[in-house]
Amino acid sequence: MSKTVSIITENFGKYDPSSIDSYLTIGGFSAVKKALAMSSAEIIEMTKKAAVKGRGGAAYDTGRKWAQAASVPGDDKVVICNADEGEPCTFKDRSIISKDPFRLLEGMIIAGYTVGAKNGYIYLREEYRHLKPLLLNAIQESTEKGYLGDNILSSGFSFHIHLYSGAGAYVCGEGSTLIESIEGKSGRPRIKPPFIKECGLFQLPTLVNNVETLAIAATFIQHGVEDYLRYGTPDSPGTKIISLAGNVKNPGAYEIPFGLTLREIIYDIGGGIPDGHELKLFQLGGASGKVGDASIIDTPYTYEALSKQGLVVGSGGFLVVDDRTRVIDFVKSVQDFFIHESCGKCTPCREGNRQIAKIIDRFVEGNPRPDDLQTAERFANIMKNCAFCGLGETAQSTLLSAIKHFPEEFGLEVAVNEKH
């Protein structure tokens, strides 16, 4: 029996994403209708009950975020849909936008209604430009049919959605940086406070949610929270769309209930490692996530169990790597990515990444200096504690977790012997 489920993804393939009429035939916009009949407080209560953690990667409680956004005073607020899915090995938002764009709009309208926003912005990464016509069409058709725009379904609530393009900058996935980019500037993070929930886009109170988070909101409003809570575990209820890729037979975006083991994901859903190779490592949550080894693949995919093993759910990226890749080459590739993507605003991230890269290069070439590893770890920890934004704080997660799981590949045989 298939271990995947379709709750958030239930509409995938069921309608023509370029036609609102097609969407309406499968009960489209019933979530918006239900939400508009409820009060903001009732929706927040439901969201808290659903216990959805932000799906962009930071895992902040969505109910709490919405409650805070709703309580900020102001009659002109903004909802931003973060569709800047830049985390390597993450493409689940692409699957939602391309297969169910209308549900995403529903989620935004519901979020806007709940927090009292007048305008919504979708920040779509440049790499997904091919999906722009689909989204623009969805916005236009929804407006024509009265589900978007002024006085939605005669409820008195008005909400407009605007589409903005990114231009190839990973750092713009960070909330305040994304806002800078929508304002037409280069993407560098803002200092907090003021928090963007109080003073964000165009100085207005701003709520930023990930694509999947918004799609889930529309899902549980439509079917009820109990229906959504039937899946998952008591601590990590519900489902998650993962992006499974790398050395697996069946890569793809899959919706799974929380609680499957990593083994089930790799071997049952992913079909295992191709060409008779062995599992070497896996990386969860993209480049800013962490790596693990084969000894812990019976860990259940839940926030708590992963955290105990030093892993994260993050963006839902799930990269499988077999024994053909050296750990150090893997780490170097991730490091090159962060050098390219560091915006250069703060010294720990800009210089830390450069210096650590030099050290990693020496490991790749096989002639590290005696204190190199110690230095790299020290710099990595400085970055974790002192970087200006999430990019720098998490840039060394891969390196640090790789050293932990594969000390021998960094020349730490002594430490391994001591461990056993």
Partner 1 sequence: MNSTKTNGFGVLTSDLALKIDEIIQTYESNSTRLVGILLDIQDIVPKQYIPREVATYVSERMNIPLSKVYDVISFYAALSDVPRADYVIQLCDSVVCKVTGNTILRDAITELLGIKEQEATADGKYWLEYTPCFGACDISPAMRINGKVFGHLTTQASVKAALDQYK
CB nearer partner 1, residue 36 or residue 364 = 364
Structural contact between residues 270 and 251, judged by C-beta atoms closer than 8 angstroms: yes
CB nearer partner 1, residue 233 or residue 333 = 333
According to DSSP, the residues that pair with 163 across neighbouring strands are 122
* Half-sphere exposure of residue 46: CA atoms within 13 angstroms, side-chain side: 25
Instruction: Name the strand (E) or helix (H) holding 381.
Output: helix 372-386
Structural contact between residues 34 and 221, judged by C-beta atoms closer than 8 angstroms: yes
Q: How far is the CB of 68 from partner 1 (least distance, A)?
A: 25
Q: How far is the CB of 66 from partner 1 (least distance, A)?
A: 25
Is the bond preceding residue 257 a cis peptide, omega within 30 degrees? no
Q: How far is the CB of 158 from partner 1 (least distance, A)?
A: 20
Q: How far is the CB of 340 from partner 1 (least distance, A)?
A: 6
Q: How far is the CB of 82 from partner 1 (least distance, A)?
A: 14
How many Å separate Cα 223 from the centre of its chain?
24
If you ran DSSP here, which 8-state letter would residue 89 be given?
A: T
Structural contact between residues 124 and 132, judged by C-beta atoms closer than 8 angstroms: yes
CB nearer partner 1, residue 110 or residue 211 = 211
How many Å separate Cα 328 from the centre of its chain?
26
Task: Return the amino acid letter for 414.
Answer: V
H-type alpha helices, 149-272:
175-182, 211-223, 225-229, 262-263
User: Contact positions toward partner 1, by CB under 8 A?
Assistant: 85-91, 94, 125-130, 164-170, 181-187, 202, 243-247, 251-253, 283, 287, 319, 321-322, 324-325, 329-330, 333-334, 336-337, 340-341, 343
CB nearer partner 1, residue 133 or residue 224 = 133
What distance in Å separates the CA atoms of residue 389 and residue 338, rounded to the nearest whole number?
A: 13
Is 125 exposed, middle or buried (CB count within 10 Å of its CB: 0-12, 13-18, 19+)? buried
* Residue in this structure with the two tokens 């519901």, named with its chain if needed: 110
CB nearer partner 1, residue 46 or residue 100 = 100
CB nearer partner 1, residue 95 or residue 239 = 95
Q: How far is the CB of 223 from partner 1 (least distance, A)?
A: 27
CB nearer partner 1, residue 64 or residue 277 = 277
What distance in Å separates the CA atoms of residue 89 and residue 386, rounded to the nearest whole number?
A: 26
Q: Name the token pair of 187.
A: 């993407």
CB nearer partner 1, residue 108 or residue 179 = 179
Instruction: Name the strand (E) or helix (H) holding 93.
Output: helix 92-99
CB nearer partner 1, residue 305 or residue 334 = 334
Q: Name the token pair of 160.
A: 């407009």
CB nearer partner 1, residue 131 or residue 218 = 131
Q: How far is the CB of 172 from partner 1 (least distance, A)?
A: 9
Q: Name the token pair of 89.
A: 């090995």
Q: How far is the CB of 341 from partner 1 (least distance, A)?
A: 7
Q: How far is the CB of 52 from partner 1 (least distance, A)?
A: 22
What distance in Å separates the CA atoms of residue 387 and residue 287, rounded to the nearest whole number?
A: 17
Report helix, strand and coil shares of the chain as percent, to nearest 5: 50, 15, 35
* Half-sphere exposure of residue 398: CA atoms within 13 angstroms, side-chain side: 30
Q: How far is the CB of 288 from partner 1 (least distance, A)?
A: 12
Q: What strands, in cross-sheet order, belong to the sheet with 160-165?
A: 160-165, 117-124, 77-83, 206-210
Q: How far is the CB of 319 from partner 1 (least distance, A)?
A: 6
CB nearer partner 1, residue 166 or residue 352 = 166
Angle at 245 between CA 301 and CA 5, to 5 degrees: 50
